[in-house]
Amino acid sequence: MNTVLSRANSLFAFSLSVMAALTFGCFITTAFKDRSIPVDIHVSKVMIKNVDDFTGPRERSDLGFVTFDISANLQPIFDWNVKELFLYLTAEYSTKSNALNQVVLWDKIVLRGYNTKLNLRDVKSKYFFFDDGNGLRSNKNITLTLSWNVVPNAGILPLVMGSGHKSLAFPESYETAKSY
């Protein structure tokens, strides 16, 4: 510690160790928190088509179109260890060929400091709601749930499902393409 460089080395290393301890403290204060909140989902329009599916093994698959409303207050989830939330809306159902199907229809990134009250109306799905086959037609029970991935400053990234879901049924017949 006789020279400036030696003192600077010692000081800097000590500061980094203390910073690491503070980060661990930040993690420990929020590690066991329950990050689930109630979510309200409404569905305004449901339609189904039978179209060519170039990504699957068969000629034609069912393609669903869902228009929905989501409202949730995300403020309680954000604490000092949350950097952003990655929200995604999942449709879950079972068909004759597959026991469990889960399709992500829509997602959104909510950063810290931005508007945390989610009040979206008449949202169309972002991603195609293709079925592996023709199992969507007259499927009575399709459950929509909103989940999120919590991205922290320090620690584990949990996947949390919101409490509150919406069940919907697809119609019996396909909509034929309109020709003008």
**What are the backbone angles phi and psi of residue 118, rounded to the nearest 5°?**
-90, 120
**Which one of 3, 55, 176, 179 is in contact with another protein (CB under 8 A)?**
3
Instruction: Tell me the HSE value of 63 on the side-chain side, using a 13 A CA sphere.
Output: 16
Asked whether position 7 contacts another protein by CB under 8 A, the answer is yes
Q: Position of tokens 């749930």? A: 145
Asked whether position 18 contacts another protein by CB under 8 A, the answer is yes
Q: 81-120 mask for another protein (x: CB under 8 A)?
A: x---------------------------------------
Asked whether position 26 contacts another protein by CB under 8 A, the answer is yes
Asked whether position 125 contacts another protein by CB under 8 A, the answer is no
Q: Position of tokens 């069912």? A: 62
Asked whether position 69 contacts another protein by CB under 8 A, the answer is no
Q: Position of tokens 């009250």? A: 117
Among 17-25, 62-70, 96-104, 125-133, which window interacts with another protein (CB under 8 A)? 17-25
Q: Position of tokens 């909510």? A: 110
Q: Which is nearer to another protein, 2 or 55 (CB)?
A: 2
Instruction: Confirm if 26 and 80 have CB atoms less than 8 A apart.
Output: yes
| Chain centre to alpha carbon of residue 38 | 14
Among 7-15, 36-44, 45-53, 142-150, which window interacts with another protein (CB under 8 A)? 7-15
Asked whether position 179 contacts another protein by CB under 8 A, the answer is no
Q: Can you list the positions of beta strands (E) in the chain?
A: 39-52, 60-73, 82-93, 101-111, 117-124, 129-130, 142-152, 159-168
Applying CB under 8 A, which residues contact another protein?
Answer: 1-4, 7-8, 10-11, 14-15, 18-19, 21-22, 25-26, 29, 78-81, 153
